[in-house]
Amino acid sequence: MKILENKVAIVTGAGSGIGREVAHSYVAEGAKVVVADVNEKGGKDVVAELIKKGGEAIFIKANTADPKEQQSLVEQTVKQFGGLHIACNNAGIGGPSAMTGDYPIDGWDKVIGINLSGVFYGMRYQIPAMLASGGGVIVNISSILGQVATKFAPAYVSAKHGLVGLTKAAAIEYATQNIRVNSVGPGYIVTPLLTNALDQATLDSIKGLHPMNRLGQSPEVAELVLWLSSPKSSFVTGSYYAVDGGYLAQ
């Protein structure tokens, strides 16, 4: 029997990158998956890939920074599949690059709105649905910048640090109610979020920031997310796991 057989999962930001690979890993292990993204074409393309592989999946367009859309996402999921057992809150953006004293206010609001408030909104509606389903697992995608900082990204660093704290708070609140909550901190991973923002020379220089001297790949992150989402990690909650090629060990 597959480890996620008969489970229902939501993956936000699943139209590309890490979210896409997480959706594939969930379906491969038997879960029914809701692919959520603001990018309708990307999301529908992923659903087509999953169905082609014999999986059961649907696409729901959702702006995770809007609490009403998060509520609707969960309600549609439960209506379609009868419950909710797993959520991977992955949707995120990089935001502007600027010093804190010059950082654009609208850029701050947007990054915090998607990367931190958006995850809270998701959990706000995911948790009651999971309780009604007998329990569940939430995996929040943070970053290495949820543990350390970098220049010119105060909003991103703040959001990802906050996300780790939010994860811990929810984990201890629901630890006796069969809901586990953990966060994952990827290093620099080859995704559209990275490759669309940086030129090749910059990408090559970033490789050297990791002791393994390379960038990570989305499937490497998805493997960790899958483990945290499965019964194999049944005594793990409130934890932060880096998948970073040794970045944080320095």
Helix or strand or coil: residue 82?
coil
| Residue of 145, 154, 149 whose CA lies nearest to 102 | 154
Rounded to whole angstroms, the Cα distance separating 73 from 38 reads: 12
Looking at the DSSP bridge assignments, the partners of residue 179 are: 136
Tokens for 98, please give them: 């600027």
Catalytic residue among 125, 156, 174, 188: 156
Strands annotated E in the chain: 8-12, 32-37, 56-61, 86-89, 136-141, 179-186, 189-190, 216-217, 240-243
Residue 133 is inside which H or E element, if any?
none
CB 228 within 8 A of CB 236: yes
Helix, strand, coil % in the chain, rounded to nearest 5: 50, 15, 35
174 is catalytic: no
Cα–Cα separations (whole angstroms), residue 162 to 27, 53, 125, 143, 243 = 30, 37, 19, 11, 19
| Active site positions, annotated | 156
